[in-house]
Amino acid sequence: MKTEQHPRNRSSIEHAAAAVLLILSTALVACSTVGTPRAAGISQVAPITQGQKYVMATHSFNVFIGPSRARDAQAQTLSQTSPGPLAALAAERGKVGHENLAVQMIGGSTPMQHWKQGDGDDSKNIAKVALNKGGVDVFTMSPNALMPEPGIDLFGDLVIKTNPNARILVQNSWSAWDGTGVTASVGGTERPKFANEDHDKADIAAIDGWLASLESKGGYLERMRAQLEGINQRAGRQMTYVVPSSNAAYTLRKEILKGNIPGITKQSEIFRDGMGHPTTPLANVVTYTWYAAMYRESPIGLSALIERNDPNSARRELILQQIAWNAVIAEPMSGVKGTPVTLDGQSRQVAVR
């Protein structure tokens, strides 16, 4: 998870004409989507209709989008217990073939740690084994505070070699401990005096400052985009994309402060601890962000993650979906274009015809 310091520590449905242009520009895809309901803010580029096979090199601020696993203490192994929330969204939209091929999870990690996993024995490196096997549509990375980061380039070149038609999706994560500390992987102690309730101290001005810092000249996102563009140049095409999970997370926190998130009154309710591990609402908004980026279509209107016994859940999930969609289309390297929507928890379905 990214732990770069923050400044204080260093609606609508698209017009019919746009829909017509969409169909004219994506005629080959239209036949497969005739009559399929799509949410407001429909993508202006063709959605990816085929389920994606993906490999993750990840940490705890991202791993939850994939398969859930349980540890067998006796066998000292992890076994999959469910395909996970991203798979549930893909299944709801009929993305046949969606599959997680491999997860390499290292807590608080950088891509370089994933590259070095196995200590030189690549047969023990889950991510490298999966990439060398081939058949990968999407490879995901989740950097930490260091940017640019050498492991990103190394994995980028490996993907170019082994899966030249694949996409690389890279998460921009929210800061751990609200930027008051850094993880051990980038020289931190992992023990700042920052409790979960300290998340409630951030006001809208502070959060806006974090967002501005990310987008500042020479800031984290500029450096990330520049490194990813280097991979694109070596690949001879756009292969890399940014998944703006931080933007979605910070927007969610602002909406909580405004009193706009049903069933949630404090920012600390979306975290499990001071470090910033997510509870369900934050995990879900990040999952919707990944769905929009991976499939290039709005998640608005999906119901797979609604908690049926929670009267606030349905409207809350819609707002989370709206937040995620707006974040993805605002990111210039997401590969997704579309119309922003109003954060009102109202679903406005339109059909692609």
Confidence of residue 74 (pLDDT cuts 50, 70, 90): low
At residue 125, does pLDDT exceed 80?
A: yes
Q: List, for residues 318-352, the tens digit of each pLDDT value.
A: 999 999 999 999 999 999 999 999 998 776 543 32
Q: Which residue has the higher pLDDT, 297 or 34?
A: 297
**Cis before residue 67, ω within 30 degrees of 0?**
no
Amino acid identity for residue 136 in this structure: V
Cβ proximity of 169 and 66 under 8 Å: no
- HEC letters along 4-36: CCCHHHCCCCCCHHHHHHHHHHCHHHHHHHCCC
Q: List, for residues 221-278, the tens digit of each pLDDT value.
A: 999 999 999 999 999 999 999 999 999 999 999 999 999 999 999 999 999 999 999 9
Amino acid identity for residue 336 in this structure: V
Amino acid 73: pLDDT: 55
Q: List, for residues 86-103, the tens digit of each pLDDT value.
A: 999 999 999 999 999 999
At residue 15, does pLDDT exceed 50?
A: no
**What pTM was estimated for this model as a whole?**
0.85
Amino acid 24: pLDDT: 34
Computed over every residue of the chain, the mean pLDDT equals 86
- Give the pLDDT mean for 97-114: 96
Q: Can you list the domains of the chain with their CATH numbers? A: 49-293 (3.40.50)
In the chain, pLDDT over 70 holds for what percent of residues? Answer: 81
Amino acid 30: pLDDT: 34
